[in-house]
Every structure is written in C-alpha cells, then in structure tokens.
Amino acid sequence: METQPSHKSGSTHYDIVIVGAGPVGLMLSTCLARWGYKIKHIDNRAEPTATGRADGIQPRSLDLLRNMGLKSDVMAHKPARVYEVAFWDPPKTGDGKGIVRTGTWASCPSFIDARYAFTTLLHQGMIERVFLADLKKNGVEVQRPWTITGFTSNEKDPEYPVTVELEHVDGTAKETIKAKYLFGGEGGKSFVRDQLKIKVTHKDPISYVWGVMDGVVKTDFPDIKMKCTIHSEHGSIMVIPRENNMVRLYIQIASSTDADFHPRKTATAEEVQASAKRILQPYSIEWERLEWFSVYPIGQGISEKYTLDHRVFLGGDACHTHSPKAGQGMNTAFLDAQNLAWKIHAVEAGFANKSILETYEPERKDVAETLLSFDNKYAKLFSQKPPPISTVEAASNANAEGAAPTQENEFIKTFKEACEFTSGYGVFYKANALNWSPAHPAQSHVVHPASTKLVPGRLFMNADVTRVVDANVVHLEQEIPLNGSFRLFIFAGKPAVTAQALRDLASNMSRKGSFYSAYTRPDVDTVSHHERHNPHSMFFSVCTVFAEKRSNIEISMDLPALLARYNDNVYADDRWDRRFPDAKGTAHVKMGLDEERGAVVVVRPDGYVGVVVALSEGSATVDALNQYFGAFCTKKLGETQSQL
C-alpha cells in the first residue's frame, strides 16, 4: 500500500535510529515501520516492562490506537475502565475522624464528545507488547539490551547525516550506524538530550517524592474500583483500579515544601501499606499480593529544545516530566511520536518541505507547557474541598458559553478544561503552515466559512455516518486509518445542490499542477481496484459525506469519477443524534457546515484539522486548497491552472 522509501542497502545504513522502547519510541517505530522505513531500534533493558510504570490510556489515545488497528489487542487484556473519580475527605460532622465520600466526577463528562468516555488502565508492559507484535509483523525487532554511546550529525553528508555509536550494555559488542534521523526516547535521564547539552527547565520549583504500589487487596472500602482522591488527617492517597483485580495506590511521601525534605527520602512497602491503612480508616485494607512497589522523586521539568538541527529529535519523558496524577505520561508520549512520525514521512516520501519538521517542537512543546501548568492546577483542584455534587453536575452538563462569570462558573471553567485536557480532546496546535489561520498564505473568500465549528489545529470531530456501499454504520473519523496521508473530507450536502460543485472540484483536482495531481502515484495505472484509501496518491485519502439518506445516494451518478473511485469511502449523514434532534445531516450541523452546500475539510494525517474550505462551483475551492498545501509542499501548485 505504501511507497517504499529508497535506502541504501547494507546493514549500517538506516532511515532512523530510535533509542528507547517505551511508549514514545514504540509509537514512532510502529508508524515508520508500517510506512516502510528501515529502523534500528534499541533499548537498554533486556525485556519489555515487566511490572509497574505508566498505565493510563486516555479516551483520545484509545481513538488513536483504534485508528492504528491496535485497540482490540489492548482491550483483549481486559483493562480496568475508569468512568468516574470519587473524592473522600474527613467528615465535617461528628469527631471529624475517618473519611466520607464528598463527591464524584465523571472522568470524561458528556460535554466532551468522546467515543470512549473512560480512562483505560493497563500495565505498560502489556501495551508495549502490542506495539512489539505489530513491529515484528513489519520486520522490526528491538535490539536489547543495547545502549547509545555517542552520535554526530553533519548535514555535509546530505543522505545519511547522522552517525550513531551503539553498544551492548555489557560492552561485548559495538556498532556504528549511519542514519537520516536519530530519536531519543530514553526517558527523563536522556543521554541524547544530555549530549546535545539541552537544559531542562523546572517550571514548578517544588519537587516531590512519590510512592507507588500495585497489588491485589481485600478491602471493604466501597470505591476500590474507582479512581479516588482520599484526604485524611493521616495523609493523602490516590487509588487507581487496574486489570486482574489489581489496584494502584499513589502516596506522596515528601514535598520540597516539607521542613525535613530530602529528594532521596524513601519509604518501604510496609510503611506505605501502614500509611494506607491509617488513611483508609474506618475501612480496612489487606494486601493479598504485592506486584510492584517503587519510590521516586519527581519534579516538573521541560526540555528547552526538542531538537537542534531537525535530524536528532527528542520526545516523551526525555522532554517533559511531571506528576503521575493526571495520568498523562504515556498519552503525551504517544502524541509526541505520532506528530513527528507523519512529518518525517511527509518529508522523506517527497511531499513536504523539510520546514514542516520545524513545527514538531513548537506544537509538542506547547502541549507539554500546558500539561505542566495544568499539572499544578489539577493538583490544586484535587486538593481543594470538592464542590457540592450539584455544582459538579451543573458543570458536567453546562454549556459554559454565555454564562455569567460567577464563582461557580470559574469552577466550571477549570473543571471543563481539566476534563478536556485529561481526556486528550483538549490538545490543540497553534497556527502555522499546517494549521490555517488568517495569517496563513491561503487567502480566499472560500477559506474557513464563518459558520464552521471546526478549528484548525484541533481534532476533527467524531461523527456516526452510514457507509453507502454496505449500509454499515461507522465512525467517520476512523474511516481512514493512520496511513500517513492527508484526509480530505468532502461534506457534499445535498446531491442535487452540489452536483456542479463536485464536478468542478474533481476536474480541478485532476488538473496538472493541482495539489492532488502533482503527487500522483507513479504506479497509478496498475493500482488494484481493491485499494481503498490511496488509489491515486499516497498523500491523500478522500471521503465524501452527503447530507442525504443512504437509499437516495447512487455513487456512480452523484459523484464524478475521481471521487467515485473512493466508493468505499462514501457516506450518508443520516444518523440521529440526541444533541441535534432536528438536523437533517447531523455531522454537517455538528461541524457547522452547510447542510445543503457542504464544505471540504482537510485533516492532517494525525487527525487534527488543517483547513476548512467552502465547496463552491468553479475553481475557488481547489485554488484555496492549492494555496493551503502550497504553503508546505515541495512543488509549486496551481501553475497550469493560472495559465488557462
């Protein structure tokens, strides 16, 4: 399906060397392996993670895993699912001893339009193995236990500018590798980052020591299968349910604000268990099995740079460290890797200018900055007296727009931000060549119709639609897999209204020099008729969505040949939604697109909106798309057309 990037044969030349096989390294490796790159992937551990470490997959990350076809493999391990967070505090009445439940929050309330409104809790090692199995299918095996001992990067060698020295951890073997890229995903103590002399900035001067314990318990505490934040006169604890009847407890052991703080302060498992027993009173807790226990100091750190030369990159914990409270570590790592993966592919496969690699650091560092400041805010939110249940319910159901700025609304705002952020749906990227804004070179009256609710740099919205060819009800946002292609969603309104606009769209896309035709597959004449997503170009996949009943759509009549070729990707926007009960085309209405006239939505390969363009008769739509893609692609677009 994918173009095979050309690379030198021989065992010492690779497209990329990836150091570290945790979530960030595995996500990057898995994407690039699927797209045909030659990868040297090493890890200094002899085996994948056996116990402990990260375990939270946020709702949006589950979307991403599904988009890669990996969700069912993850869910096969029967992870715990957290739908609500419970708060326990000392009672306000009586002697004030013990704890009582003072409130619960939905972890991902219904105002967030999530497919999977829960957090998935599963041992990191099981998640790593899902990626490792996929890598193996594509011929990549992680080389263990190997480590990196040095590297240089020199653009004077235009093809393989990076040289990397690798060594078996016991020193028995060495390799010198030539590569196009090097990625450091080795965690907080990154060798690559240290060699580049990139500093880590500590946003919050306070640092902490945390204890974390996984095990199987016997308890009468009623919320042991919920995520809980428990404050008591004996200290605080966080409860996270896990697969296989396990539970994880987080206990803050020390803070740099303590009088006797020492970053090496520690505690034994027995001490933490004794502490948990005191905190949970009047409930009892006994351990049947202790699977993992660790104490670690943690500070809020952020790497000042993610790359110096756009050849050697960093990602994941190598770039940002923070508390485990919001369960963001693995999720942020996944998104770092995915963001970099498609950009490297776009450059190496010949579609995009090298300059798009410059968007990796600002896009992802901005998210990390938000995460760190949020981590503080969230901690505060957790440690505050929780508001009454009615307030939380109001917040869960509220449409904050237009509400008066009262104290309650301040809470609603923080609460909504918190939920959006922790769910992963709050991540957004600022304006640049990829994310349209009024400052973008694509300047046209058809760009960004006023009504649209889609925001460039934010995720494309979820929508149920009916596939025309087989009447299957599907999730539109999942219909194009993570294949490295830009996604063109043609919302085509009513067939009778848009017939001419669709013909004009197709004919202008077909013109020599259009964004679409300029990147035609060299093998376009021999592509199988079963090829669903990339029949014409490796860089574009196309979906068409009519605001019409399925039975009224006839693909061969309602679509010009170029679009009809994507016949498996034609949909009827005919599903009822409680939130838009009167919509004729729910997806059109939800996204703020004209139900009659539609619009074209360009979605980046990672699922974030690039630009929205009105679907107009004549050449204006394709002209605008040429301008949009022309801002970062390798060819000059629209030339032929302007000569006509």
Least CB distance to its own copies at residue 625 (A): 29
Q: Return the HEC string of 515-560.
A: CCHHHCCCCHHHCCCCCCCCCCCCCEEEEEEECCCHHHCCHHHHCC
Applying CB under 8 A, does 75 fall inside the site for its own copies? yes
Q: Which is nearer to its own copies, 83 or 157 (CB)?
A: 83
Least CB distance to its own copies at residue 396 (A): 12
Based on C-alpha coordinates, what's the Rg of the chain? 26
Q: What is the distance between the alpha carbons of residues 284 and 264, in angstroms, rounded to a whole number?
A: 30
Distances (CA, A) of 382 to 217, 254, 564: 24, 17, 53
Site pattern 82..101 for its own copies (x: CB under 8 A): xxx-----------------
Which residue in the set 60, 81, 448, 604 belongs to the binding site for its own copies (CB under 8 A)? 81
Q: Which is nearer to its own copies, 11 or 526 (CB)?
A: 526
Q: Which is nearer to its own copies, 224 or 308 (CB)?
A: 224
One-letter identity of residue 269: A
Q: Which is nearer to its own copies, 269 or 564 (CB)?
A: 564
Strand segments, DSSP code E, in 368-511 are 464-467, 473-475, 486-491
* Window 467-526: residues binding its own copies (CB under 8 A): 469-473
CB of 88 within 8 A of CB of 99?
yes
Distances (CA, A) of 632 to 343, 346, 494, 635: 11, 10, 33, 9
Site pattern 187..216 for its own copies (x: CB under 8 A): -----------------------------x
Q: Which residues of 255-274 are buried (b: 16+ CB within 10 A; e: fewer)?
A: eeeeeeeeeeeebebeebbe
Least CB distance to its own copies at residue 327 (A): 16
Query: Which burial class, exposed, middle or buried, applies to 589 when counting CB atoms under 10 A from its CB (0-12, 13-18, 19+)?
Result: buried
Q: Which of 455, 460, 456, 448 shows the shortest CA–CA distance to 432?
A: 456
Q: What is the distance between the alpha carbons of residues 501 and 491, in angstroms, rounded to a whole number?
A: 11
Q: Which is nearer to its own copies, 252 or 466 (CB)?
A: 466
Least CB distance to its own copies at residue 470 (A): 4
The count of residues interacting with its own copies (CB under 8 A) is 37
Q: What is the distance between the alpha carbons of residues 610 and 636, in angstroms, rounded to a whole number?
A: 19
Q: What is the distance between the alpha carbons of residues 590 and 56, in angstroms, rounded to a whole number?
A: 30
Which residue in the set 118, 293, 425, 486 belongs to the binding site for its own copies (CB under 8 A)? 118
Q: What is the distance between the alpha carbons of residues 343 and 68, in angstroms, rounded to a whole number?
A: 17
Q: Which of the ranges 136-144, 269-277, 436-444, 466-474 carries the binding residues for its own copies, by CB under 8 A?
A: 466-474
Distances (CA, A) of 198 to 43, 376, 488: 22, 24, 38
Which residue in the set 29, 67, 102, 104 belongs to the binding site for its own copies (CB under 8 A)? 104
Please count the other Cβ atoms lying within 10 Å of the Cβ belonging to residue 184: 31
Q: What is the distance between the alpha carbons of residues 615 and 594, in angstroms, rounded to a whole number?
A: 10
Q: What is the distance between the alpha carbons of residues 463 and 410, in angstroms, rounded to a whole number?
A: 30
Least CB distance to its own copies at residue 106 (A): 8
How big is the CA angle at 25 (ends 23 and 30), to the nearest 5 degrees? 90
Beta bridge partners of 165: 150, 176
Which DSSP string corresponds to 5-28?
A: PP---STTEEEEEEE--SHHHHHH
Q: Which of the ranges 223-231, 408-416, 608-616, 621-629 carries the binding residues for its own copies, by CB under 8 A?
A: 223-231
Which residue in the set 47, 141, 220, 258 belongs to the binding site for its own copies (CB under 8 A)? 220
CB of 60 within 8 A of CB of 113?
no
Which residue in the set 140, 226, 454, 622 belongs to the binding site for its own copies (CB under 8 A)? 226
Least CB distance to its own copies at residue 467 (A): 9
How big is the CA angle at 148 (ends 210 and 198), to the nearest 5 degrees? 65
* Window 14-53: residues binding its own copies (CB under 8 A): none
Least CB distance to its own copies at residue 103 (A): 9
Q: Which of 79, 85, 389, 57 shows the shortest CA–CA distance to 223?
A: 85
Q: Which is nearer to its own copies, 42 or 419 (CB)?
A: 419
Least CB distance to its own copies at residue 556 (A): 6
* Window 378-417: residues binding its own copies (CB under 8 A): 389
* Window 538-577: residues binding its own copies (CB under 8 A): 551, 554-556, 567-568, 576
Which residue in the set 225, 277, 521, 584 belongs to the binding site for its own copies (CB under 8 A)? 225
* Window 237-266: residues binding its own copies (CB under 8 A): 241, 245
Q: Which of the ranges 58-66, 71-79, 402-410, 426-434 carries the binding residues for its own copies, by CB under 8 A?
A: 71-79
Which residue in the set 189, 197, 264, 578 belongs to the binding site for its own copies (CB under 8 A)? 578
Which residue in the set 12, 47, 76, 263 belongs to the binding site for its own copies (CB under 8 A)? 76
Least CB distance to its own copies at residue 468 (A): 9
Q: Which is nearer to its own copies, 261 or 283 (CB)?
A: 283
CA torsion 152→155→160→166, rounded to 10°? 10
Least CB distance to its own copies at residue 612 (A): 30
Least CB distance to its own copies at residue 390 (A): 11
Interface contacts to its own copies, rule CB under 8 A: 72, 75-76, 80-84, 104, 118, 216, 218, 220, 222-226, 241, 245, 389, 466, 469-473, 529-530, 551, 554-556, 567-568, 576, 578
